[in-house]
Amino acid sequence: MQEESIAIFVHPDEYARNPNQVASVTTRKIVFVKRKELAMKPFELVEFPLGQCSRITYETRHAFLPMMLGAFLVLLVGFILSSDIPAGTRVPVGALAIAFMFGGGLMFSPKRHRFTFVMNSRKLKWQSKAGDYKYKMGSTQKLIAFAREKGLMVELPPI
């Protein structure tokens, strides 16, 4: 059987910005980006055989920090609009509208995929960035289908 790529979570040009995360999963191995301190290359790729993986858990989480930033922007715009503004003060209405829409989007939409690969003696993790939920949907669905087929999938309820 030939090795086939199941999911690519981190592209090679992003390895340095995503340390200590799973980069990709194939039918035979899990590729992990390990951080290296004080080295010329800030990361090292470590391969783990998929046969050592005892289970894979998947959960969907909400990104807390972007949600709080969005709530802060919405509250700030609300405070500015509801406060007494002296006559002659120039208020950039377009900027307020943009901040309100951006804050509302941040407040209600940031979700993350999160996988945990349980090996014999350690756990390997991957978590998507707050804005990448819909862009990583294809890779996560492929991995979930593959893990279910192999009997490794454990799904956690959304938080």
CATH class (in words) of the domain with range 5-62+110-155: mainly beta
- Rounded CA-CA distance 65/61 in Å is 12
Higher pLDDT, 61 or 25: 25
Taking only the tens place, the pLDDT of each residue in 53-67 is 999 999 888 878 888
Taking only the tens place, the pLDDT of each residue in 106-115 is 887 778 888 9
User: Poorest-confidence range of 24-28, 90-94, 154-158?
Assistant: 154-158
Among 123, 127, 10, which Cα is nearest to 56's? 123
Degrees to nearest 5, angle at CA 112 with 26 and 159? 115
Higher pLDDT, 48 or 95: 48
Higher pLDDT, 87 or 27: 27
- Rounded CA-CA distance 38/17 in Å is 15
What pLDDT is stored for residue 159 in this prediction? 59
What pLDDT is stored for residue 111 in this prediction? 84
Higher pLDDT, 20 or 90: 20
What pLDDT is stored for residue 61 in this prediction? 82
User: Poorest-confidence range of 79-88, 95-104, 130-139?
Assistant: 79-88
Q: Are 9 and 15 in contact (CB under 8 A)?
A: no
The pLDDT mean for the chain works out to: 86
What pLDDT is stored for residue 105 in this prediction? 81
What pLDDT is stored for residue 88 in this prediction? 78
Where are the chain's structural domains? 5-62+110-155, 64-81+92-108
Query: Does residue 157 surpass a pLDDT of 80?
Result: no
Residue type, 11: H
Among 152, 138, 126, 153, which Cα is nearest to 7's? 138
Neighbours of 73 (CB within 10 A): 20
- Under the banding of pLDDT at 50, 70 and 90, the label for residue 28 is very high
Average pLDDT (60-83) is 85
